[in-house]
Structure 1
Amino acid sequence: MHYTTKAVWFLVFTLCIAGCNEAIEEDDEDKSAHRATSTESQLTRTTSAARPATAEEAFESLIEGNSRFVAGEPMHPHDSAQYRASLVNEQHPFATVLACSDSRVTPELIFDQGIGDRFVIRVAGNVVDDDVAGSIEYAVDHLGTKLLVVMGHEHCGAVTAAYHSYVANDMKEREPHEIDSLLHRIEPAMRGLDPSQSPEDQIAQGIENQVRAAIEELSEIPDLRDGLRDGRYKIMGAIYSLHTGEVRFLDEFDNDI
């Protein structure tokens, strides 16, 4: 009788364990199915109506993303394996960003955007040369981006070097030819700085001047100028703050060039 009772309890215990395992497996399956459904739903939303269709919508998307970045609450959108796979055969970025190569200035993070959202060109001092112009023309004409942002940033090393080379004239060593050539492209932005201001304030003004100079140069390229005139896209200048993470846009949507 004693052994029979033990056998019964062993059977009950075994059945309970089996039932718990089955319940756990079903719960895991439900969670996996829910994750798959959520991912599929997100992918459907982000590939259709959520994508900005105008320059104004693109601007608002960048503003909202930067606000999340500044607040330390990024969403990291469009970074799933499924979304990445959906872009293998095509891309449809809604904005083009010309920014500095500085390692602290990463447009994808600063604007809290994901894979395929922006067409980004980065070069020291956000200078414009034929390669940069060609890349931007490709984004506007072939990819149909609606907004072009030229973004400088605080404490830009390239602009600072140009200031010391062309304004303060206190460069201790001559730069290699390639760097000197780059600084030469920034030199026009150093003209007209107020010598009564501190070097820091003059450099800050030079950084803004360099952004505006890049916009002016791009606006003089026939195809890009035509795109501005017929409203295919718009240009915005901006300055990124290394201290706060905030992007300050210089102008409104006034591109009647």
Structure 2
Amino acid sequence: MTTTLAPAQAWERLLEGNRRFVAGTPRHPNQDAQHRAELANGQNPFATFLGCSDSRVAAETLFDVGLGDLFTTRNAGQMVTESAVASIEYAVALLGVPLVIVLAHDSCGAVAAAVAGTAIDADPLPPKIWKLIAPIVPAARRVLKESGGASVADIDPEEVGREHLRDTISGLMHSSAIISSAVTEGRLAIVGAKYRLTDGTAVPIAQVGLADTDIPSLSKEQK
């Protein structure tokens, strides 16, 4: 059994949960013993989540959802890794989720490390950590070029985070025929949002597969 929600409906459900979280009135749905027992027979998530491993960015909490609602993948910097793509493909192809939410956040350590790593004299990172965050470096270089700056100090890490978020959506589309076909056919949408640590708001930055009217604040992040 798969969800009957359309992509726009799934996004609105997440937005409603985030509004409750921000207002301090969460309902903590689908977290009772009865629902837990019902899920033993199978899952029916209405969205899949690709987010950062940062301990402050827990999807079920900030979107006020519960057990069985989100099919979740997390890694440092919400990277398009083989395991992340495969997990999302599973959610799309076998579970029929209509929405992928990619969530970045401010003050991201992975972004900061990638920005620092663009310096010629940067201290080396452990190889596996560098391999993970290296895909963020092109975004940092674009931001530096567009700013007209001359050094790492001129790079705005928050703008790099937004650029990387857009790159992540593009990477998912180009890495998977399953994902891109589902978007083309209207069965799936991908929304990239940025989570603000200070007030708890998930602000949309970019999307594919939804009309602009479904995300009226798109690319207009509040300061």
Question: Which TM bucket (shorter chain)?
Answer: 0.7 to 0.9
Distance 1:133 1:188 in 2: 20
Deviations 1:34-78 (A, max 9, x none): xxxxxxxxxxxxxxxxx7611111111111100000011110000
The aligned amino acid for 2:191 is M
Gaps of 5+ in 1: 1-50
1:255/1:61 CA distance change after superposition, 3 Å: closer
- Specify which structure has the higher proportion of strand: 2
Q: Which residue of 1 aligns with 2:130?
A: 180
Please state if 1:237 is matched with 2:192.
yes
Alignment of 1:1-257 (within 5 A): 53-166=5-118, 168-169=119-120, 171=122, 173-193=123-143, 194-196=147-149, 199=153, 202-220=156-174, 221-251=176-206, 254=209
Task: Provide the TM-score with structure 1 as the length reference.
Answer: 0.75
The aligned amino acid for 1:183 is I
> How far has the Cα of 1:191 moved from its partner?
2.5
Q: Secondary structure at the match of 1:210?
A: helix
> How far has the Cα of 1:201 moved from its partner?
6.5
- Specify which structure has the higher proportion of helix: 1
CA contact (8 A) 2:149 2:155 kept: no
The aligned amino acid for 1:69 is F
Distance 1:252 1:184 in 2: 23
Report % sequence identity. Answer: 39
CA contact (8 A) 1:96 1:145 kept: yes
The aligned amino acid for 1:102 is D
How many residues are paired up? 206
- What CA RMSD, in Å, does the superposition of the two structures yield over aligned residues? 2.3
Task: Provide the TM-score with structure 2 as the length reference.
Answer: 0.86
Q: Secondary structure at the match of 1:125?
A: coil
Give the greater-gyration-radius structure (CA). Answer: 1
CA contact (8 A) 2:10 2:99 kept: yes
CA contact (8 A) 1:96 1:148 kept: yes
Distance 2:154 2:18 in 1: 26
The aligned amino acid for 1:154 is D
> How far has the Cα of 1:200 moved from its partner?
8.3
1:253/1:129 CA distance change after superposition, 3 Å: closer
The aligned amino acid for 2:201 is E
> How far has the Cα of 1:105 moved from its partner?
0.5
Q: Which residue of 2 aligns with 1:30?
A: none
Gaps of 5+ in 2: 212-223
Deviations 1:164-203 (A, max 9, x none): 101x4453x3111111111212222212112449958610
CA contact (8 A) 2:188 2:209 kept: no
